[in-house]
Amino acid sequence: MLEGFVDESECDLLRARAEELVREFDPAEVVSIFSTREQNRLTDEYFLTSGDKIRFFFEENAFNPDGTLKYEKEKSINKIGHALHDLDPIFARFSRSQKIKELAKGIGLEKSYLLQSMYIFKQPNIGGEVTCHQDSTFLYTEPIDIAGLWFALEDATVENGCLWAIPGGHRRGLKLRWRRTREKMEFEVFDNEPWPEEELVPLEVSKGTVILLHGLLPHRSFENRSPRSRHAYTLHLIGAEATYPADNWLQRSEIMPL
């Protein structure tokens, strides 16, 4: 991790922009998705087609049965994804900055593509957990050549749901791969052993720190039951020479290649 990688003012700019995007977003656009009897299929569809869009994802149980929100939308959104780095000018400028190109080169990604971006809110009191996983499970490349950049836009502590990781866990190989089959998404299992979660260590960081995550590093975050939010922006970069399979969940339309 690199402390002070993002200036205070830049963190605040990204936060303000995310808040503006949420203000402009009308949840009525998605009510039908979260209120029909087909909810699971439509929710999956909303996620699985978001690779080249800016979409809003909600905390679990954010909706009433009629599809309306239980709490104000500003407090109900879990994250925004997955193409902020392409479609939003403020996030694009940050994501394509010289500083980030140099950081990528510094960790061996001489030539890389920006695959995915997420703005994660980890809301006060209700911010949900992210269970232990390896990013290569979801963003698989051959060979494995992916890095996650996790920018803390606020201080992240054990109380407000910081990241946790298993030191050295990236040397233990890939456990699962999430693939598209004709009908649905499925996990291909390479190793069925549960994660040794007792080995997790908290990555408490100050605002402006970037955490670099190897695609095979097992990591997670716990719920946020504190009164403080924990905003973060993440980017996933893949090596330009690596093969990106057509059965990964995240696909881009032909008119918006990587």
Ligand X SMILES: O=C(O)CCC(=O)C(=O)O
Contact positions vs ligand X (CB under 6 A): 120, 122, 130, 135, 148, 163, 219, 221, 232, 234
Cβ proximity to ligand X: between 22 and 163 the closer is: 163
Least distance to ligand X, CB of residue 82, Å = 11
Q: Which of 119, 116, 112, 106 is nearest to 139 (CA)?
A: 116
Cβ proximity to ligand X: between 42 and 223 the closer is: 223
- Residue nearest to ligand X as judged by C-beta position: 221
**What does the alpha-carbon distance between residue 111 and residue 192 come to, in Å, rounded to a whole number?**
34
* Residue 135: HSE in the Cβ half-sphere, 13 Å Cα cutoff: 22
Radius of gyration of the chain (CA): 18
Q: Which of 94, 88, 104, 98 is nearest to 52 (CA)?
A: 88
Cβ proximity to ligand X: between 21 and 153 the closer is: 153
Least distance to ligand X, CB of residue 116, Å = 9
Cβ proximity to ligand X: between 148 and 208 the closer is: 148
Least distance to ligand X, CB of residue 127, Å = 8
Q: Give how far the C-alpha of residue 18 lies from the chain's centroid of Cα atoms, to the nearest Å.
A: 14
Least distance to ligand X, CB of residue 161, Å = 6
Least distance to ligand X, CB of residue 191, Å = 19
Cβ proximity to ligand X: between 144 and 163 the closer is: 163
**What does the alpha-carbon distance between residue 71 and residue 63 come to, in Å, rounded to a whole number?**
8
Residue 244 vs residues 5, 17, 145, 146, 255: alpha-carbon distances, Å: 29, 31, 10, 11, 17
**What does the alpha-carbon distance between residue 161 and residue 53 come to, in Å, rounded to a whole number?**
27
Least distance to ligand X, CB of residue 189, Å = 20
Least distance to ligand X, CB of residue 27, Å = 22
Quote the DSSP letter at residue 172.
G
For 226, counting Cβ atoms within 10 Å of its Cβ (0-12 exposed, 13-18 middle, 19+ buried), the class is: middle
Cβ proximity to ligand X: between 122 and 170 the closer is: 122
**229 is written with which tokens?**
């939010």
CB 86 within 8 A of CB 70: no
Cβ proximity to ligand X: between 148 and 239 the closer is: 148
